[in-house]
Structure 1
Amino acid sequence: MTQKQLPEEFYPLLEELQATDFVLVELTLYLDTHPHDQAAIQQFNEFAHYRHQLKLRVEEYYGPLQQYGNSYSATPWNWNDSPWPWQI
């Protein structure tokens, strides 16, 4: 399998996606113990929306990031296109 070259713009997007995921994990942990904190819930929802938009941008370069209907596929099926996340 040939590994495709990724544009330089991909890496800052991937880093931003990873940072956003970190914020969402931390907010989830906080909200597990503070379920009535409206400001945290609002912040979580804003980051969840931002992550969705960012994920779509990242997938323009990389292809699907998640399987089982969480990401769309181009034609032809591109789930198995490299590089894989651990190859980046």
Structure 2
Amino acid sequence: MDRVHQLQLLKQLQEVDFVLVELNLYLDTHPDDLQALQQFNWYVQQSKEIRKTYESQYGPLLGFGYSFNQYPNGWDEGPWPWEV
């Protein structure tokens, strides 16, 4: 069951980050669209929350200082996100 939850969080993160990419592209050509900007900011918050939840339970998603490393889900814990 824990593995299922891990996969669900990764899927949610991928979906939210996909929406962020699309909104980012849209805002590049429509910078005055307040509703799109509000949606972008809402999805940024969702992405942060999902990422924080994932990392607190399963370890860091990113290296090079972009993710905190914490015990007990640190660098030597597996599987890595790309191994799931």
TM tier, shorter chain?
Answer: 0.7 to 0.9
1:24-63 to structure 2, matched below 5 A, reads: 24-63=20-59
1:41 counterpart letter in structure 2: L
SS in 2 for 1:65: coil
Query: AA paired with 2:48?
Result: H
Query: Could you tell me the TM-score, scaled by structure 2's length?
Result: 0.84
Task: Give 4+ residue runs of structure 1 displaced > 2 Å after superposition.
Answer: 75-82
1:15 is the counterpart of 2:11? yes
What TM-score comes out, normalization by structure 1 length? Answer: 0.81
Say how many residue pairs are matched: 83
Deviates further, 72-81 or 47-56 = 72-81
What percentage of residue pairs aligned between the two structures are identical?
45
2:74 match: secondary structure: coil
After superposition, give the CA deviation of every residue in 1:41-67 in whole Å (9 maximum; x if it has no partner). Answer: 000000001110110111123200112
C-alpha change, 1:71 and 1:41, in structure 2 (3 Å) is same
CA RMSD in angstroms, aligned pairs only: 1.8
Aligned residue for 2:68? 72
In structure 1, runs of 5+ residues without a counterpart are 1-5
CA distance in structure 1 between the aligned counterparts of 2:7 and 2:18, rounded to whole angstroms: 17
* Structure with the higher helix share, 1 or 2: 2
